[in-house]
Amino acid sequence: MAHDRRKETQTVKQALRAAGYRKVKA
């Protein structure tokens, strides 16, 4: 579970980063 949670956090962080990039690009 710990690994899954860590992976999820990384995915969320990446998604947030992508959203931020998209916002900046927009």
Domain-wise residue ranges, the chain: 1-26
3-state SS, residue 4: helix
The first and second tokens of residue 25, run together, are 């690009």
- Average pLDDT of the chain is 82
- Would you state the pLDDT for residue 23? 79
d(CA 9, CA 15): 10
How does residue 2 score in pLDDT terms, banded at 50, 70 and 90? Answer: low
pTM for this predicted structure:
0.52
d(CA 8, CA 14): 10
